[in-house]
Amino acid sequence: MATLFARSAVRAAAQTPRLAFPKATYSPTISRWSRACQQPPAVTAATRRFLSSTPSPSEQPRLRLGSEAPNFQAKTTHGEIDFHDWLGGSWAVLFSHPADFTPVCTTELGAFARLAPEFARRGVKMMGLSADSLSSHREWVADINEVGATDVQFPIVADSDRKVAFLYDMVDAQDLENVDEKGIAFTIRSVFVIDPAKKIRLTMMYPASTGRNTAEVLRVIDSLQTVDAKGVTTPIDWRVGDDVIVPPSVSTEDAKKKFGDVREVKPYLRYTRI
């Protein structure tokens, strides 16, 4: 019986008339659909040059908090450096800029330079990076000093080939359409705070259109150094001198032994002073 039904189904399918599609409308449609599925989108010459300078996924390090800051060698306004050697056993801030002789970047470098004594007081080195040549950097520093009424003393990496920018993933995906005359994407505004063990402790990423807040960079360094030294955590908008938070891993009893007075708002939210 099953065989009889199967044979009947085959005969019915064979006798069913097929839909007729005019060749002029059917074939081109299928052809266009097929090409779209089988071929990649067109790549412009500028995009091709950009992609050729991008490291493959296997080469790109995962810059997670707590991972080691990638090492690199580069020319800077203070000579050739090996980044890890330059770091030594110090805290450091590495911050990038899209280009020399641009308005936002000029104000930022001046602001960091004016706060250099505050960074030094915290034992923090600074290193800037801009996607231009060393000779351009040297000329640009004169403008920064004039506009910012300051004296830039920290090194600035010359990264015209964007090797460090790609190593630290300092490129916005939208910059495939925002390339320079070489067809290479500009860098975004990134901040990396690195501790004495060369571990990345904080990252900040800003679009090229938005200037950073140097006071916030100092604030988070104060928080990180306090957390490491005192074994506490810091609440929102915390500044030196404000109450800190007892970590959940520390009991109230142990916290009172360690810190003295402990103010309990909730069993999981306890403040103290250090």
pLDDT reported for residue 59: 57
Run of H or E residues at 147: helix 134-148
pTM summary value = 0.74
- Give the list of residues 6+ apart from residue 11 with CB closer than 8 angstroms, or none: none
Domains and CATH numbers, the chain: 51-212 (3.40.30.10), 231-272 (3.30.1020.10)
Q: Are 144 and 152 in contact (CB under 8 A)?
A: yes
| Residue 38 DSSP label | H
Residue 158 near residue 74, CB atoms below 8 Å: yes
* pLDDT at residue number 45: 40
Vertex 184, ends 178 and 188: CA angle to 5°?
60
Q: Given this model, what pLDDT does residue 28 score? A: 36
Single-letter residue type at 56: S
Catalytic residue among 74, 105, 109, 185: 105
- DSSP for 11-67 reads HHHHHSPPPP--HHHHHHHHHHHHHHHHSPPP--HHHHHHHHTSPPTTTS----TTS
**105 belongs to the catalytic site:** yes
Per-residue pLDDT in tens (0 to 9) along the chain, 274 residues: 444 444 444 444 444 444 443 443 333 333 333 333 333 333 334 334 444 444 444 456 678 999 999 999 999 999 999 999 999 999 999 999 888 888 899 999 999 999 999 999 999 999 999 888 999 999 999 999 999 999 999 999 999 888 998 899 888 776 555 555 555 567 889 999 999 999 999 999 988 888 999 999 999 999 999 999 999 999 999 999 999 999 999 999 999 999 999 999 999 999 999 8
pLDDT value for 10: 44
